A and B are shown apart, each in its own frame.
Chain A
Amino acid sequence: MSFIELKNIDVAYDGKKKILNNLCLDIEKGKFISLLGPSGCGKTTTLRVVAGFIEPNNGSFLLDGKDYTNVPIHKRNFGIVFQSYALFPHLTVAENVAFGLKMRKLAKDEIDRKVSEILKTVDLGELGGRYPRELSGGQRQRVALARALVVEPELLLLDEPLSNLDAKLRLKMRVEIRELQQKLGITTIFVTHDQEECFSISDKVAVMNGGIIEQYDTPEKIYMRPSTEFVARFVGFENFFPLEKREDGYYCGGVKFAIEHLPESCGDQPKGTIRPDDIVILDRPDADHNVIEGTVTVRTYLGKSYQYKVATPYGDLIANGPNTKTYAAGDRICLHLPAQKLVVV
């Protein structure tokens, strides 16, 4: 049994448009997981269901075996960091951080001790007396984090917390968040649309699309071996061509293709996919397997390489070739798709 279990969650607005469709998600204790996807995919809705802001139409949410589906927000003991940080404008930094402790009716000296401790942890020891409007974006972010963490929540929920920061600060803050999360060992759900951001700090990533989870895996697996076409496109696979599944493997144009990592399952119409960078361009067919012939239609210069659009019997493919040997539009070339880089979706 996982620490957190989302079981068959359905969310629909006005009983019509489905935002989440039979969504299931398990999270191990102490892990940092991300919900990744384009806007409108349901990632924020999932987070809001967990937070208690949205009541699912169907399904349940368990935490440590206890049913939390109908527990009101203020009794959940989760720390939430909002995209806008949502600091209380009328309270100082220290008062903001102390809010949750006051709601828990802790003694004043204990509150003071905990507040100054957590402010030190997030490097804001000196700024307790300031108001949120007097802080920079990065500092506000830290206050929001401190406020969420000081109550020792069972779960930390981060809703695109880095999207309002500039690029440099974003890199710094994401490492800081990960560091703090590991230090405290707190189970965390992170919502983002930034692939690099979530791959860099997550234990596991759930790629979402249209209200369902397309793939839930480690970042490495998602990057190297996406399991659906959507995930593949999301992580940079651009070439898709039809494969034929026979008993002894996958065939393309009547020839068996060598594929190192075969998928556990695939649909009725499997497709082979590969990144443009992973295709090797050859002048003539090799004895090797996995070759598709085609004609260059467009060549574009990318700086470190050339990119070719190649018309093949299986549709247009995009391949990147080295600067050392170039081809022109109209040239016949062979595209070698290495077995270890080829993915079936």
Chain B
Amino acid sequence: MKRKNYFLLAITVLVYFFIFAPLILIALTSFTTESYISFPPVGFSLKWYQNVFQNKTFMEAFQLSFLISTASTVIALLVGIPGAYALSRYNFKGKKFIKDLFFSPNMVPQVVCGFALFTFIIVRLRLNVRVALLVGLSISVVTYAFRIVGASIESLDYSIEEAGMSLGASRVTVFFKIVLPNISSGIVSAFLLAFINAFNNVPLTIFLSGPGVTTLPVAMMSYIEYNYDPTVSALSVLLMLMSFAVMLITEKLVKAGK
């Protein structure tokens, strides 16, 4: 028994080490006074953080990323929630095909998806890069909305909807007054996951970024191609903090909803 526990402990420590060590490393390098990424860091300064906020490309990219991610997440939920509901509650022809379709964005490599959107939306339709980004990211995250909300709906006893109807509520009323409040935690989790995935997306957005219009992860990539200073480390730390904050807020919301 005891030996087994040590073994488990060792594995756990290793796993956590592999997950967190690089992150901690990056966090430490962001405070260095040297003008290149080095370990161990030398001295202590916040100038790289200051640099992040003074970098116009980063600030604009962040703004774009934030707006586009939020908008595409909302679109994904608006499509995913009714879609998941219909698929779990109704039987119709082509149900399986539609279900597969909702899952497919994660089967096709995103680079392919990005290239397809690039040739179609930007080259053929000559639409704005922002539109292309919105469409692309919505498609790539709809599967999260669909899957997580779908699981919530599946676990909801269908009788409670029937009970609602028998008490005089129409289908629409039942959906808003009974189904939605009971899947709210699923919706919040789906929002979180979809948002973070949209925000962090590189393979798709790299195709759809144009001059002056670029998302934050792509901007970071092109920055480190030419600069090897710890600004990116500082930015990474800020993004980690943001993800962490979003997660905390979600957890609070999910708990409050229960």
Contact = CB atoms under 8 A, between A and B. Distances in A.
A142 interface: no
B34 to A, nearest CB: 55
A84 B181 contact: no
Interface string B131-165: 00000000000000000000000000101101111
Given A84-B157, A89-B182, A51 B168 contact: no
B159 A86 contact: yes
A104 B168 contact: yes
Contacts, number: 62
Contact of A86 (B162, B168, B170, B173): B162
A77 B167 CA distance: 7
A14 to B, nearest CB: 10
Interface residues of A, number: 27
Interface in A61-105: 72-80, 82-84, 86-90, 99-100, 103-104
Contacts of B159: 82-84, 86
Interface in A160-206: none
Nearest to B159: A86
Nearest to A153: B166
A103 B178 contact: no
A147 interface: yes
29 contacts: A51-B166, A52-B165, A53-B162, A73-B165, A74-B167, A74-B168, A74-B169, A77-B168, A78-B166, A82-B162, A84-B157, A84-B159, A86-B157, A86-B160, A86-B163, A87-B163, A88-B160, A88-B163, A88-B164, A88-B182, A89-B160, A90-B181, A99-B169, A100-B168, A103-B167, A104-B168, A147-B163, A147-B167, A151-B168
Given A88-B164, A103-B169, 4 more contacts: A80-B166, A89-B160, A89-B182, A90-B181
A-B interface, 10 closest residue pairs, ranked by CB to CB distance from nearest: A100-B167, A103-B168, A86-B159, A86-B163, A73-B165, A82-B159, A90-B181, A80-B166, A86-B160, A74-B165
